Amino acid sequence: MLLLLGIATGCMSRQLTSPVDHGLLQAETELAAGHFSSATEILQAFMVSNPNDPTPALALADCYLAWGKPQAGLAALEEAAHRGAPADEIADRRLALLRAAGAWTELRREAALQLQASPDSTTALSAMVEAALQLGDCGSAQDAAAQLTSVA
C-alpha cells in the first residue's frame, strides 16, 4: 500500500492534469478504505484506456501486494515491464512481491541479479538474507548480513 500511496501522493503534490492521475488518486482512496476490489477495477480500467503507460500497472502491482495477492501483483508487474516501466520502478516491487509469495528460491535468484547490478542495494541484500534463512542456508545469510551491515 505504501508504494501506491507514494504514487498517489506524487499526484497530489502536483496539479492533477491527466486522467491517470485522477484514476490513481481514486484507486488510492478505495484502497485506503479497504476496497481492494474496486481499487483494482479502477486500475485495470486505466490500464485498458492507457495501453502504453506503465503507471497504472505499477499501481496495480502495489494494490495486489497490499491485498495479499502477490501472484496477481507479479503478473501486473510483468505488464508494467512490458509497457516500458523503468527497471528501478520494478526492482523493489518484485522483491516485495516474491517475499510476500514466499517464493524463496526465486527471491534469492532475483536478489542476486539485482546485487550484480547494484552491489550496495540494501533492499536486495535484505531480501538475500531472508531468502537464504528461509532456505536454511545460514552461511549465505551470514555473508549477506555482513555485507548489509557494511553498507547500511
Per-run averaged pLDDT (10 residues), the chain, 152 residues: 46 53 86 93 93 94 96 98 96 98 98 95 96 96 94 82
pLDDT recorded at residue 14: 41
What pLDDT shows up at residue 84? 97
**35: how many CB neighbours lie within 10 A of its CB?**
14
Q: Please report the pLDDT score of residue 116 as a whole number.
A: 96
DSSP at 94: H
pTM: 0.84
What number of other Cβ atoms are within 10 A of residue 139's Cβ? 8
Contact 87, 93 (CB under 8 A): no
**Alpha-carbon separation of residue 95 from 22, 38, 134 (angstroms):** 28, 25, 15
